[in-house]
């Protein structure tokens, strides 16, 4: 089993309806393929983690990289895992305002330069995972577990 986290930019802005359609389709196909994960969208950029069998996660990544709605797909981390961090979500989702994404090291660098690497990429992934879990545990936050 693997976990892959990537950043990408959208080629055009996403409406709420378009995001809902993407989530519905992703949740359905992820459930069929035993893929779980979380997605953050902010200001035209995506930060996503996918977990599951390597072949299934790699197939999702191939679709993302071929999708003309994504540009600058930058894989921050791809690693073998013993267990899932987001087992309960076929695709957890959060849309954050720009001032919140500044809390994720590396994310604002990506927005500025289109690339993040090395230790900054690892910190970005770790912070993203922690923020997502913390938000899901916050009873005042609306839940979108998918």
Q: What is the pTM assigned to this prediction?
A: 0.75
Q: Which domain holds residue 108?
A: 2-137
Q: State the average pLDDT over residues 27-53.
A: 89
Q: Would you say residue 10 lies in a domain? A: yes
- Please tell me the predicted confidence (pLDDT) of residue 120: 63
What CATH number is given to the structural domain containing 42?
A: 3.30.70.100
Give the chain's domain count: 1
* Sheet-wide strand order for 70-80: 70-80, 2-10, 45-52, 36-42, 92-95
Instruction: Decide if 145 is inside a domain.
Output: no
Q: Is residue 43 assigned to a domain?
A: yes
Task: Let me know if residue 17 belongs to a domain.
Answer: yes
- For residue 127, pLDDT over 70 is answered with no
Among the listed ranges 24-28, 52-56, 123-127, which one has the minimum average pLDDT value? 123-127
Q: What is the model's pLDDT at position 146?
A: 46
Q: Would residue 81 count as lying in a domain?
A: yes
């Amino acid at each position: 089993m693997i976990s892959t986290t990537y950043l990408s930019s959208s080629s055009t802005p996403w409406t709420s309806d378009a995001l809902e359609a993407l989530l519905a389709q992703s949740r359905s196909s992820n459930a069929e393929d035993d893929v779980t994960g979380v997605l953050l969208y902010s200001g035209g950029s995506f930060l996503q983690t996918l977990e599951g069998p390597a072949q299934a996660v790699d197939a999702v990544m191939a679709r993302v990289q071929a999708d003309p709605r994504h540009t600058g797909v930058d894989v921050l981390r791809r690693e073998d895992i013993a267990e899932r961090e987001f087992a309960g979500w076929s695709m957890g989702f959060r849309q954050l305002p720009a001032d919140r994404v500044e809390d994720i090291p590396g994310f604002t660098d990506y927005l500025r330069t289109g690339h993040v690497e090395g230790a900054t990429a690892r910190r970005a992934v770790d912070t993203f995972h922690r923020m997502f879990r913390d938000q899901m545990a916050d009873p005042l936050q609306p839940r979108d577990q998918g």
